[in-house]
Chain A
């Protein structure tokens, strides 16, 4: 696998060298041209080392979902993970969130191994993660309530974060009264309100229409730069990944392995329509295509694809 066979020098303003096939490669500052990577903190914010996950299918065979995943995420980094459906990218987020555990390997946050959920890592789901029996305000306050933060403080923060996502007027609404885009903004506010260090986003905009998604990309980028959180963002949409991420990590189709990494140093704010974004995305897509084909092939052969569902116990 030649790392930069498709690189077009000069058009994608990233030295082609950083695309490093990650099999067995020790990750670290991979880019010579990217000064940011050299000031990496001694301990990364989130570190995945040799993560494997296998589980038993209904027919009893053992299926390897994730295979020796190694990843280091810097504090404040916006990392995007892309891969075909069935590569286990959502599952990876669930592992980081501590919602279930890997078969082997370690998830480290600030150098400490993760053993269960913690409010320093909040997961934003694709859809339906909000509580329909609570109002918008109560949803946003939920995490703080669980922590036992007094009501006055909770409400103040709730208002602050609702303003941040431009939903101040919808405090008293119930979730079903909001549009899809508004719901995801509530989800972002709810996650931020627990003041996590790491935001884990599991295809949060996949179910939204294109206009709403564009808008939320802008908002997320702004919120990220205002709050300085570390974001790990999973998507199957390569353009979205390039538009948002500091770095795009490509996973292979079952078992999920890190295939390659693409630092993205395009200036912000970016837009999906930027030709540079499109170009960079094409480069990632070229590598992803093989995986997508493998995924489709498996689908045709097996009829029903044994999806790796987050939440399936290994």
Chain B
């Protein structure tokens, strides 16, 4: 209750300032969109299905790209964490690569895959793969060794050992990395979509720019934030809660 009232006060005040500034008409609406202008954009956008389609297209891309990242990242992370050589060489490379915004891959992606979905996917994967890999590597290290020993002792080896022991044992330690990977994937996708016109939320946002419709830009920004927040707050929260129930741990923060 207390938290809810805090939220109400804070967001109410923020919205109030926005309404006030819009009402004062210090700047023309095409420079400073009004709340009601944004609302109208959202309404018509959903009404004529533009946003629904954009959301569906973007979600599909990010899910495919992120999915590939998770699978590849887990394999890579596992490989790195189980080899001293890889850890010392590739581990460092990955950390330094993480400072590279994934959109820097865009020119190369265009050359390799052409102006296509695959170029976008590539950028999304490059954006999130590193986070997942590093999280997996770190998770394997943090995971108590005893689980691996117990698993081998009970006859698990090879893929079975990974799938039934190492992966579930490291999940609580990699969930925050998976979350970070998701955020990177989502950001990379929107950026790539802004550069490549083929539906999706990024393109709808750029259309707003092209028509000097700042209300539309803000409306799409809201959508991007909302989706990112919902996935984080619903999907990952549920996963954390599930792990917490099983392990009896405090949720990873």
Q: When the two chains form their complex, are residues B147 and A143 in contact, meaning their CB atoms are under 8 A apart?
A: no
Q: Which residue of B lies closest to A125 (CB)?
A: B146
Any A CB within 8 A of the CB of B120: no
Q: Which residue of B lies closest to A121 (CB)?
A: B153
Any A CB within 8 A of the CB of B2: no
Chain A residues within an 8 Å CB radius of B160: 146
Q: Which of B128-172 contact A (CB under 8 A)?
A: 144-147, 149-157, 160, 164-165, 168-169, 171
Any A CB within 8 A of the CB of B247: yes
What is the size, in residues, of chain A's interface with B at 8 Å between Cβ atoms?
29
Q: Give the CA-CA distance A53 to B153 in the complex, in Å.
A: 20
Q: Which of B154, B171, B245 has the most CB of A within 10 A?
A: B154
Q: When the two chains form their complex, are residues A174 and B246 in contact, meaning their CB atoms are under 8 A apart?
A: yes
Q: Give the CA-CA distance A190 to B149 in the complex, in Å.
A: 14
Chain B residues within an 8 Å CB radius of A311: 145, 149
Chain B residues within an 8 Å CB radius of A97: 153
Any B CB within 8 A of the CB of A78: no
Q: B146 touches which one: A117, A118, A128, A174 (CB < 8 A)?
A: A128
Q: When the two chains form their complex, are residues B150 and A125 in contact, meaning their CB atoms are under 8 A apart?
A: yes
Q: Which residue of B lies closest to A146 (CB)?
A: B155
Given A131-B165, A131-B169, residue A142 in contact with residue B248 (CB < 8 A)? no
Instruction: State the majority secondary structure of interface residues on B.
Output: helix
Given A125-B146, A128-B146, A129-B146, residue A147 in contact with residue B155 (CB < 8 A)? yes
Cβ contacts A113-142/B at 8 Å (1 or 0 each):
000011101110100111111100000001
What is the size, in residues, of chain B's interface with A at 8 Å between Cβ atoms?
25
Q: Give the CA-CA distance A256 to B22 in the complex, in Å.
A: 81
Q: A176 touches which one: B153, B156, B248 (CB < 8 A)?
A: B248
Chain A residues within an 8 Å CB radius of B153: 97, 99, 117, 119, 121-123
Chain B residues within an 8 Å CB radius of A132: 246-248
Q: Which residue of B lies closest to A133 (CB)?
A: B168
Q: Give the CA-CA distance A99 to B171 in the complex, in Å.
A: 24
Given A128-B144, A131-B168, A146-B164, residue A177 in contact with residue B248 (CB < 8 A)? yes
Q: When the two chains form their complex, are residues B149 and A99 in contact, meaning their CB atoms are under 8 A apart?
A: yes
Q: What's the minimum C-beta distance from A200 to chain B, rounded to whole angstroms?
A: 9
Chain A residues within an 8 Å CB radius of B155: 117-119, 143, 146-147, 194
Q: What's the minimum C-beta distance from A26 to chain B, rounded to whole angstroms?
A: 31
Chain A residues within an 8 Å CB radius of B149: 94, 99, 123, 125, 129, 311
Q: What's the minimum C-beta distance from B110 to chain A, rounded to whole angstroms?
A: 43
Q: Give the CA-CA distance A175 to B168 in the complex, in Å.
A: 14
Q: When the two chains form their complex, are residues B145 and A176 in contact, meaning their CB atoms are under 8 A apart?
A: no
Q: Give the CA-CA distance A99 to B245 in the complex, in Å.
A: 31
Q: A119 touches which one: B154, B245, B247 (CB < 8 A)?
A: B154
Q: What's the minimum C-beta distance from A294 to chain B, rounded to whole angstroms?
A: 28
Q: When the two chains form their complex, are residues B154 and A176 in contact, meaning their CB atoms are under 8 A apart?
A: no
Q: When the two chains form their complex, are residues B156 and A131 in contact, meaning their CB atoms are under 8 A apart?
A: no
Q: When the two chains form their complex, are residues A143 and B154 in contact, meaning their CB atoms are under 8 A apart?
A: yes
Q: B152 touches which one: A117, A130, A174, A190 (CB < 8 A)?
A: A117
What are the nearest 3 A-B pairs in CB distance? A176-B248, A143-B154, A146-B155
Chain B residues engaging chain A, CB cutoff 8 angstroms: 144-147, 149-157, 160, 164-165, 168-169, 171, 243, 245-249
Please name 20 further chain A to chain B contacts, defined as beta carbons within 8 Å, in addition to the given A129-B149, A133-B169, sorted by A numbering: A99-B153, A117-B157, A118-B155, A119-B153, A119-B154, A119-B155, A123-B153, A125-B150, A129-B146, A130-B150, A131-B150, A142-B151, A142-B164, A143-B155, A145-B164, A146-B156, A147-B155, A175-B248, A176-B246, A176-B248
